[in-house]
Amino acid sequence: MIMDRLVREASESPVCVGLDTKPEYLPAAIAKMDRDEGDKLFLFNKKVIDATADLAACYKVQVACYEALGIEGMSAYARTLAYAREQGKLTIGDCKRGDIASTAEQYAKGHFEGDFEVDFLTVNAYMGYDAVSPYLPYVKDHDKGLFILTHTSNPSAKDLQEQKLEDGDMVFEKMADLVDEWGKDFIGEEGYSALGAVVGLTYPEAFADIQSRHPHTFFLVPGYGAQGGTGKDIADIFKRSRCAVINSSRGIICAHRGKTEGPDFVDYIRESAQTMKTDIMQWL
């Protein structure tokens, strides 16, 4: 099962490198090349993957950064995913799809087959089971996985996700319960379901709550680095179980900014990924 593989990769290093790549993040050594924007983004991503492959459990690729550049950008998205796969690395399509029925079926086909194929996809299930069920045939028959938004890392997440329901639970707790229920048929050898949850590092109490309620849930955790999360924030989580990959995007791919515009930018990116790994692993 694909989640078993991710769990094993995460046991060596829980670092997830976020390839939320924008043209303004590129060093001059790439930005000034006589190529289209898509080529430049792909070349940058390729070098990031080469520099960090031995430090990262997986790569999360934010599709919006590529959609914004049109056809050139989506070509870079496809090539980035293909290159990561060629290097034997797992990929997460950070697309947060949130529609239902036949539309969700097309999203599932678009992200689990063809040019944009990923191993895992982020899904917004606040429309209920109808927003998840179209993906499940791929989970069952094609060894794919989902990360479902549960308690996100943004400041206004609490506006809805921490509202109390009649039974005393909060909305995010109900969502965590649903993720657990939907994923019971997809638990692998490592004890985790192929349906994981997105829970932000910026809400550690919520994370601890969900982790204790649902020991079979594996987590994709945003919020490290540029959003303020540190290895110490992860310490209590990992003392209970090694149940997550921790994402950093700008903190890694922008590590060269203000330091170099030359081809040595990859050295700063690798150093940042190594520092992140060390920062997390020291608490284990």
Please answer whether residues 97 and 111 qualify as being in contact, where contact means their C-beta atoms are separated by less than 8 angstroms.
Answer: yes
226 — pLDDT class (breaks 50, 70, 90): low
Is the pLDDT confidence value at 186 over 60?
Answer: yes
Query: What digits encode the pLDDT tens for the residues 98-111?
Result: 999 999 999 999 99
Q: In percent, how much of the chain has pLDDT > 90?
A: 83
Query: What digits encode the pLDDT tens for the residues 194-204?
Result: 999 999 887 77
SS (H, E, C) 219-282: EEECCEHHHCECHHHHHHHHHHCCCEEEEECHHHHCCCCCCCCCCCHHHHHHHHHHHHHHHHHC
Alpha-helical regions (H) of the chain: 2-12, 28-31, 37-52, 64-67, 70-86, 101-112, 136-141, 158-161, 171-182, 204-213, 231-240, 250-253, 265-281
228 — pLDDT class (breaks 50, 70, 90): low
* pLDDT score of 88: 97
Helices 37-52, 265-281: axis angle to 10 degrees equals 50
* pLDDT score of 129: 97
Q: Encoding tokens for residue 118?
A: 């990923």
Query: What digits encode the pLDDT tens for the residues 49-96?
Result: 999 999 999 999 999 999 999 999 999 999 999 999 999 999 999 999
* pLDDT score of 240: 74
153 — pLDDT class (breaks 50, 70, 90): confident
Q: Which residues fall within 8 angstroms of residue 5, CB to CB, at 6 or more apart?
A: 90
Please answer whether residues 73 and 37 qualify as being in contact, where contact means their C-beta atoms are separated by less than 8 angstroms.
Answer: yes
Is the pLDDT confidence value at 40 over 70?
Answer: yes
Q: Cα(33)–Cα(37) distance, rounded to whole angstroms?
A: 9
- Exposure on the CB side of residue 87, measured as CA atoms within 13 A: 24
* pLDDT score of 155: 87
Q: What is the mean pLDDT of residues 8-35?
A: 96
Please answer whether residues 222 and 153 qualify as being in contact, where contact means their C-beta atoms are separated by less than 8 angstroms.
Answer: yes
Catalogue the active-site residues: 96
* pLDDT score of 177: 97
* pLDDT score of 227: 56
Q: Cα(55)–Cα(277) distance, rounded to whole angstroms?
A: 7
* pLDDT score of 204: 79
* pLDDT score of 52: 98
* pLDDT score of 223: 74
225 — pLDDT class (breaks 50, 70, 90): low
Per the prediction, the chain carries an average pLDDT of 93
Is the pLDDT confidence value at 165 over 80?
Answer: yes
User: Which backbone phi and psi does 138 adopt, to 5 degrees?
Assistant: -75, -35
Q: Cα(200)–Cα(197) distance, rounded to whole angstroms?
A: 10
